[in-house]
Copies of this chain bind each other. A is one copy, B any other.
């Protein structure tokens, strides 16, 4: 599996992806899910992928070759929205090529992308592109997308992130979200690829590959578990007797009583027919 998270903020974008791929538990490999596309001083795009690796690698190749039928590619489109449409077209192209054979083999056409970046003159933008090639865009109200094994790492994003979160805090949040996923799911694994993109820079200055030896990821990995346990311990235990009002747990619910307890149904023997 995979876990990727992309965040679109007032100050820029954060992209984080793992590198584990598996087809069954005994076929585990390392493949990068992040690809960068740049035209100096004009645009920078980042693509992250989840799903069937044969599909996502083919889509990436189409994009790198830049030869889409209508003459548009990631280096010549006018804006990020059109760039997302180019990615969508690449997905459709691979669908047309492969879907019949995949269907025969009983395999879903399964791929999912986070794509975002900035073209000079517009704001940074972030998209989630589906396997049909259609896509949605992040907004200030919903400023992040996740693909792959997204559920373990969602609670911390929901608690901390909003559109005004500074890039450095969002980076920390993304890494904690990844650390929670790594801990609970073995199909997601190190190293990680991280890009923190500062609005209007049009450059990938903060691009790093993170493995076990990365001091900051070590710090997150060790401290977060500890801090979480501290937070856990600082909350009062449930009080069953009702002696402490603030932590009383046995107070009855308003609309529903406590569930009933079932004892054996004693049956009378059926009366014999005469």
Min Cβ gap A44→B in Å is 8
Given contacts A159-B229, A168-B237, A219-B236, contact A208 B249 (CB under 8 A): yes
Number of interface residues of A (CB under 8 A): 90
Residues in chain B near residue A252, CB distance under 8 A: 208-209
Instruction: Name the interface residues of A245-264: CB closer than 8 Å to any CB of B.
Output: 245-264
Residues in chain B near residue A185, CB distance under 8 A: 151
In the assembly, how many copies of this chain are there? 2
Residues in chain B near residue A193, CB distance under 8 A: 258-259
Residues in chain B near residue A160, CB distance under 8 A: 228-229, 232
Min Cβ gap A174→B in Å is 10
Q: Is the CB of A216 within 8 A of B248?
A: yes
Residues in chain B near residue A107, CB distance under 8 A: none
Residues in chain B near residue A191, CB distance under 8 A: 253, 255-256
Given contacts A32-B259, A184-B151, contact A39 B264 (CB under 8 A): yes
- Separation of A66 and B211 alpha carbons in the complex (Å): 56
Q: Which residues of A contact B (CB under 8 A)?
A: 19, 30, 32, 34-40, 64-66, 73, 75, 149, 151-152, 154-156, 158-160, 168-169, 171-173, 175-176, 180, 183-185, 191, 193-194, 196, 204, 206-211, 213-217, 219-220, 223-225, 227-232, 234-240, 245-265
Provide a sorted-by-A list of 18 A–B residue pairs whose CB atoms are within 8 angstroms.
Answer: A19-B256, A30-B256, A32-B259, A36-B262, A38-B263, A64-B262, A66-B265, A75-B263, A159-B183, A160-B228, A160-B232, A168-B238, A176-B235, A207-B258, A213-B253, A214-B251, A228-B228, A228-B231
